[in-house]
């Protein structure tokens, strides 16, 4: 067994929160180590954010060529798809980026330890935090350590950044072949002819768009009465219309009751969420479950450590105080990212890690506003939002204005053939504070940044109205929607 080393800070997990926190620790001069059981980059860089966007870009190119090629003046009579290359490009991109993370850790003098970490003690008057490292089992969903302890390391502080794993259906577990999660959906050896996707959140809809674009018959099952349930109702309705036009089928207010395996696939029984006597069956090659994620900390500690949990996540103070430290219930141990709860977003996780490390190092760090974390869905049309939905504003009894601008009237959108979508803005009365912004359409994930900055700076409608937006750009749609909150839209 290797000789024990002591660190100022150990970070467990090499995903967005873990590696970013480790880099920041190195920048601040802390002696730091990052322990990761699998590839650096976590789910985001290996099986999520980055490789999925590569797949979605492929789908968009193919879909545009097939759907609009003639309109653009291009002929694609013999267009073919090499599925191996479609998937392979995504995997190559993931590999390049994860190697880059290793370089950044080394550059910032952070030790990279490979293995499964188990915290055996927090910081006490008698000694520092202790972490044992074993070989990691090769199990994406239930990974723990195996064998003897290969290394024991200690630290003044430990940050848990182990992320989250896909949640299975209550009655049907993942098998990686017939019942899959986003991980397997990212790397299918053969394109399925038909697919049921359970869950219409960002992950479900991104894969629905991807597979449907290449000709897979896709049915999306959603328990609620609308798709993309966390989005504003107007955006959900517009998205459903757009995706139905593309050929995606929806079963809303429904759940999957059972799955019967058969040769070459399965028969999926879909029932009414409120009355399971109302049912229908769909024959498919594969079923993708995308109903959300759960915190990943199996084998990380045992009950004797006394680490407090809340709703299946590690409890910290991030929801309770204005300037959270991200401390857990155990002295010397902190936690950030998906493992502590929603929103389960890489950019939120990275920001938490930086704040946590800076405060550990004794620096002043500006806190996050958890009410102003942008969210994006990267299919076509894209969806992006920040702040309150109109539903939430009504529930809070707020007095507000609504501005909308439909992209059908937008010059840049018409020029590039992307007129599906709208921008919707909520502002408070009487001062015009921006309460929420919701976009569906071309470049929505880029456009939302303007609202992110505006809400962080507590800008008002008048601030955006008086900001000159370049012409012609998609960003002019933001200007028009905000003008509409004051009944001043010029091109509606």
Sign of the CA dihedral running 94, 442, 342, 354 = positive
pLDDT in tens, 101-153: 999 999 999 999 999 999 999 999 889 999 999 999 888 888 888 889 999 99
* Residue 141, burial from CB neighbour count under 10 angstroms (0-12, 13-18, 19+): middle
374 Cα distance to chain centroid: 11
Proportion of the chain above pLDDT 70, given as a percent: 99
276, two tokens: 């399971």
Strands 179-180 and 286-289: parallel
Non-local CB neighbours of 168 within 8 Å, separated by 6+ positions? 141, 174, 179, 181, 289
Read off the pLDDT of each residue in 462-471 and give the average, rounded to a whole number.
98
Query: Would you list the domain boundaries of the chain?
Result: 2-45+88-165+293-371, 168-289, 381-484
Task: Please state the φ and ψ torsions of residue 324, each to the nearest 5 degrees.
Answer: -65, 150
Specify whether domain 168-289 bears CATH 3.40.50.620.
no
pLDDT score at 439: 98
| pLDDT score for 1 | 52
Distance of CA 480 to CAs 66, 342, 414, 415, Å? 32, 32, 15, 17
Which residues are known catalytic residues? 471
User: Which has more confidence, 390 or 124?
Assistant: 390
- Quick one: which of 249, 247, 227 has its CA closest to 238? 227
Using DSSP, state whether 54 is helix, strand or coil.
helix
Distance CA 231, CA 391 (A): 10
Q: Is the pTM higher than 0.85?
A: yes
CATH class, range 381-484:
alpha beta
pLDDT 10s digits, 75-100: 877 788 999 999 999 999 999 999 99
Query: DSSP secondary-structure letter at 283?
Result: E
Distance CA(49)–CA(402), nearest Å, equals 32
Q: The dihedral of CA 304, 308, 313, 318: what is its sign?
A: negative
Q: Quick one: pLDDT at residue 3?
A: 61
Give mean pLDDT, residues 210-235.
Answer: 98
Please, what is the Cα angle at 313 between 309 and 314, to 5 degrees?
Answer: 55
* CA pair distance 167, 185, nearest whole angstrom: 15
Give me the mean pLDDT over the 435-461 stretch. 97
Q: What is the pLDDT of residue 71?
A: 83
Averaged pLDDT, 40-59: 95
Distance CA 112, CA 371 (A): 34
Note the pLDDT of residue 74. Answer: 87
Q: Are 56 and 206 in contact (CB under 8 A)?
A: yes
Evaluate whether 2-45+88-165+293-371 and 168-289 have a shared fold.
yes
- Residue for token digits 């007129």? 419
Strand partners, 179: 287
Q: What is the mean pLDDT of the chain?
A: 95
- In the predicted model, what is the mean pLDDT of residues 200-208? 98
**Cα angle 254, 258, 260; round to 5:** 135
pLDDT band at 2 (very low <50, low <70, confident <90, very high): low
pLDDT band for 297, please (50, 70, 90 cuts): very high
The whole-number pLDDT of residue 65 equals 87
Q: Which phi and psi (to 5°) does residue 269 adopt? A: -95, 120
* Residue-level pLDDT at 492: 86
Question: Does residue 483 have a pLDDT over 70?
Answer: yes
What's the CA gap between 444 and 384, in Å, rounded? 6
CATH architecture of 2-45+88-165+293-371: 3-Layer(bba) Sandwich (3.50)
């Amino acid at each position: 067994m290797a000789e024990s080393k002591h660190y100022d800070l150990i970070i467990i997990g090499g995903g967005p929160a873990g590696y970013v926190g480790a880099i920041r620790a190195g920048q601040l001069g802390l002696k730091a180590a990052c322990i990761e059981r699998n590839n650096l980059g976590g789910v985001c860089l290996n099986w999520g954010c980055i490789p999925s966007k590569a797949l979605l870009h492929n789908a968009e190119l193919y879909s545009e060529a097939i759907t609009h090629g003639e309109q653009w003046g291009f002929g694609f009579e013999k267009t073919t798809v090499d599925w191996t290359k479609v998937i392979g490009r995504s995997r190559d991109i993931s590999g390049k980026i994860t190697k880059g993370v290793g370089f950044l850790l080394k550059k910032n003098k952070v030790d990279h330890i490979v293995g499964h970490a188990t915290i055996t003690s927090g910081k006490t008057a008698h000694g520092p935090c202790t972490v044992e490292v074993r070989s990691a089992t090769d199990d994406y969903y239930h990974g723990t350590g195996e064998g003897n302890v290969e290394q024991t390391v200690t630290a003044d502080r430990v940050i848990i950044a182990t992320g989250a794993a896909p949640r299975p259906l209550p009655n049907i577990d993942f098998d990686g072949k017939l019942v899959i999660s986003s991980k397997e959906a990212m790397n299918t050896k053969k394109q399925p002819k038909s697919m049921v996707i359970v869950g219409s959140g960002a992950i479900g809809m991104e894969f629905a768009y991807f597979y449907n674009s290449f000709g897979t018959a896709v049915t999306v099952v959603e328990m609620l009465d609308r798709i993309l349930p966390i989005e504003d109702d107007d955006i959900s309705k517009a998205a459903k219309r757009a995706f139905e036009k593309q050929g995606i089928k929806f079963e809303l207010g429904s759940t999957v009751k059972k799955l019967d395996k058969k040769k070459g696939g399965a028969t999926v029984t879909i029932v009414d969420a409120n009355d399971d006597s109302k049912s229908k069956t769909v024959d498919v090659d594969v079923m993708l479950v995308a109903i959300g994620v759960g915190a990943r900390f199996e084998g990380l500690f045992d009950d004797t450590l006394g680490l407090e949990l809340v709703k299946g996540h590690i409890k910290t103070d991030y929801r309770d105080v204005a300037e959270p430290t991200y401390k857990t219930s155990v002295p010397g141990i902190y936690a950030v990212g998906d493992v502590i709860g929603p929103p389960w977003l890489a950019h939120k996780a990275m920001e938490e890690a930086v704040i946590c490390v800076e405060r550990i190092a004794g620096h002043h760090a500006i806190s996050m506003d958890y009410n102003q974390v942008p969210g994006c869905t990267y299919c076509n049309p894209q969806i992006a939002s920040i702040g309150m939905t109109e539903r939430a504003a009504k529930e809070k009894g707020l007095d507000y204005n609504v501005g909308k601008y439909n992209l059908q009237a937008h010059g840049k959108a018409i020029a590039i053939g992307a007129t599906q979508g709208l921008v919707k803005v909520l502002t408070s009365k009487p001062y015009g504070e921006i309460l929420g912004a919701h976009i569906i359409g071309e470049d929505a994930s880029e456009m939302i940044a303007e609202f992110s900055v505006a809400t962080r700076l507590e800008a008002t409608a008048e601030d955006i109205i008086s900001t000159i937006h370049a012409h012609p750009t998609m960003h002019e749609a933001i200007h028009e929607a905000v003008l509409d909150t004051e009944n001043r839209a010029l091109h509606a």
